[in-house]
Structure 1
Amino acid sequence: MNNKSWLYWVVICFCFLPFVSPAVALCIGIVFSFLGIRHDSIHRYTSRVLQVSIVLLGFGMGLEEVITASKSGFVQTLISVSLVMTGGIVLGRLLRVEKNTTLLIAAGTAICGGSAIAAVAPIIKSENYQNSFALIVVFVLNAVALLLFPLIGQRLGLSQEVFGNWAAIAIHDTSSVVGAGAIYGEKALQVATTVKLIRALWIIPLSIVLAFFSKNGDKRSIKFPWFILLFAAAIFFANIFPAFESSYAHFSWLGRRAMVVALFLIGSNITLHQIKQSGTRCFLLGVTLWVVTAAFSLFLLTR
């Protein structure tokens, strides 16, 4: 931590202002990183802040809309996860990327970015540098997607529902999916968040499969994303007890603002050194798999 770390607290407070968008917060974080302004102790809480924001967002979602999105998103998730994992493994072999790194990048692209990588890494017994390579590729592409996807969606005139599904399928981390949905619109935010969290549940079956086929696999290493259950509980609670609607609106607002804070922290943790360190082939694998996934899923959703 350096003597300019107090600026983090200023920006975090700034993130709670209504005119500060997720994209703005992410850009500020990236600027902080490039200027060398860091606060390592705060970065440890990035994942926790994101998870809390998602749970709080559940209080502002209608149960009927969530069920509709869940039904339509299940089949898409099953198909896309299978195709992305298969395509990633094939591309990794063609580009001669290490097996573990390929599996990590493919899992991160297919399911939920850093969370999937963190869940899969102990199962396949990957090395620290392989985990770092995969995480850096995912984080960089997340930052690009958060800024690029809303622009593409607006240019193509995508509906809120189509954009929400597309973002949930083609963007890696939940943070950037939620951020892109928030930028595009309220309905897009609901659809994107719900479908993405359904995808996150696929960490469990994927982990079991990898543990079964991995020589050093350990089923006890599988970590369940418990915050997903809390997100679902928040939705059910808000719809079963509508008398507290005014409080739910405050919780939902706090969730959106906390998500903005999380994106600022994510952006401030990306460095040029890490980007260069990850290697050309890893980036080529990640970018190619991401572009193919985004283009193919958009084609299927809009045809």
Structure 2
Amino acid sequence: MLSKIAKPIFFILILVALLGFINSPTALLLGFLFTFIFSNPYLKQSQKAIQILLKVAVVGLGFGMFIKETLQTSKDGLSLTFYSIVLTVAFGIILTKWLKLDRKLGHLITSGTSICGGSAIAAVSPVINADGKTISLALGVVFLLNSVALLIFPPIGSILNLTQHQFGLWAAIAIHDTSSVVGAALSYGDEALKIATTVKLSRTLWIIPLSVFSMFLFKSKGQKIKIPYFIFLFILAILINSYEILPAVISSNIVLISKRLLIVTLFLVGTTVSFSDIKQTGFKPIVLALSLWIFISIFSLVYIIYQ
């Protein structure tokens, strides 16, 4: 009985998200509930759709930004980005040894926590020759914390009276995956969303030096480094908007559609969670990921408030 109604409910919920009837945390929770009750009937398609929709939506958000403000935001977040990545990676290496955790699993979790979640794990895993199980475990742990962050960061930001600028910067640094970053910032405000998206994408470019570092750390040779090319489309969208190549009404509608696509993406993210994988992970990888997440969250928050 459940299998018969799963597919229509799946598409109804996507439509509800697309029409803007729910916000990003609600979309994620509905995704969790759906996969818990029914299980995702389109799991592989959803995983592919997440990657495509996220990139399309992020590029679309560029049509609501201006190059001058974007460059200033990137400049403001540069030092914090650098310090947070270096310190988190160093802390991750130390904790992995201390916990006696599998070295490759520890490095993938550290990479995902320090830069951009699943994207960093996907980029670094072939460089260090990680197997499928190790990649899945790392993704499961990081994904779990991403989901928690999306739900708790906006309330914490409100309790601490963080400004839109402060919250956007904090979300971009302390939340791992781009989907959760933009989801949390979207629920906090438009300015927070612009800042979080800009800083997060500039942070994503650090995948390249991290991959090179990983090559030396694991003595890998002849491996290709994945470059997140869609970031250049995001920059192009900002330039198009800055020079008013498109009418304002078109640009604003592109941004609106992009925000709706982000909500759909977060619903799909919730439907792809694997509770069995997370359960099989054990406590050590979760201890590592949680420790790194707490560290980067507190460090970045203190830095932002007192800089």
Q: Return the TM-score normalized by structure 1.
A: 0.96
Q: 1:243 to 1:116 in 2, by over 3 A?
A: closer
In the TM superposition, what is the alpha-carbon distance from 1:125 to its structure 2 partner?
0.3
Number of matched residues?
A: 302
Q: Distance in 2 between matches of 1:36 and 1:92?
A: 36
Distance in 1, Cα, partners of 2:21 & 2:148: 21
Distance 1:243 1:133 in 2: 44
CA RMSD of aligned residues (A): 1.4
* Partner residue in 2 for 1:144: 148
Matched, 1:267 2:270: yes
Structure 2 residues without counterparts, runs of 5 or longer: none
After superposition, residues 36-115 of structure 1 pair within 5 angstroms as 36-38=38-40, 39-43=42-46, 44-115=48-119
Q: Which residue in 2 is equivalent to 1:225?
A: 228
**Is the contact made by 1:92 and 1:98 (CA closer than 8 Å) also made in structure 2?**
yes
Deviation per CA, 1:183-234: give whole Å up to 9, x if none: 1111110110100001000001111121233223434x21111111111110
| Percent identity (aligned) | 41
The within-5 A match list for 1:1-303 is 2-3=3-4, 4-38=6-40, 39-43=42-46, 44-219=48-223, 221-303=224-306
Separation (CA, whole Å) in 1 of partners of 2:263 and 2:191: 18
Shift of 1:242: 4.7
Is contact 1:73–1:165 with CA below 8 Å preserved after alignment?
A: yes
Q: Kindly state the Cα deviation for residue 19 of structure 1 after the two structures are TM-superposed.
A: 3.4
Unaligned runs of 5+ residues in structure 1 are none
Letter in 1 for 2:258: G
Residues of 1 paired with 2:263 and 2:73: CA distance? Answer: 24
Supply the distance in 2 between the matched residues of 1:242 and 1:23 (Cα, whole angstroms). Answer: 34
Return closer, same or farther for 1:213/1:288 CA change in 2, 3 Å cut-off: closer
Letter in 1 for 2:97: R
Residues 52 and 255, structure 1, Cα contact 8 Å, conserved in 2: yes
1:140-199 deviations in Å (ceiling 9; x for gaps): 001100000001000010111111111111000000000110111111101101000010
Contact 2:240 2:246 in 1 (8 A): no
- On the 8 A contact 2:80/2:303 being kept in 1, the answer is no
Instruction: Tell me by how many angstroms 1:40 deviates.
Output: 1.8
Q: Residues of 1 paired with 2:267 and 2:212: CA distance?
A: 33
Query: How far apart in 2 are the matches of 1:123 and 1:6?
Result: 41
In the TM superposition, residue 254 of structure 1 has moved relative to its aligned partner by 0.9
1:301 CA drift (Å): 1.0
Letter in 1 for 2:156: I
Deviation of 1:21 after TM superposition, in Å, equals: 0.4
Residue by residue over 1:104-160, the C-alpha shift from the partner in whole angstroms, topping out at 9 and shown as x without a partner, is 011101100000000000000011111111100111001100000001000010111
Structure 1: 4+ residue segments shifted above 6 A: none
SS at match of 1:223: coil
Q: Which amino acid is 1:146 matched to?
A: L
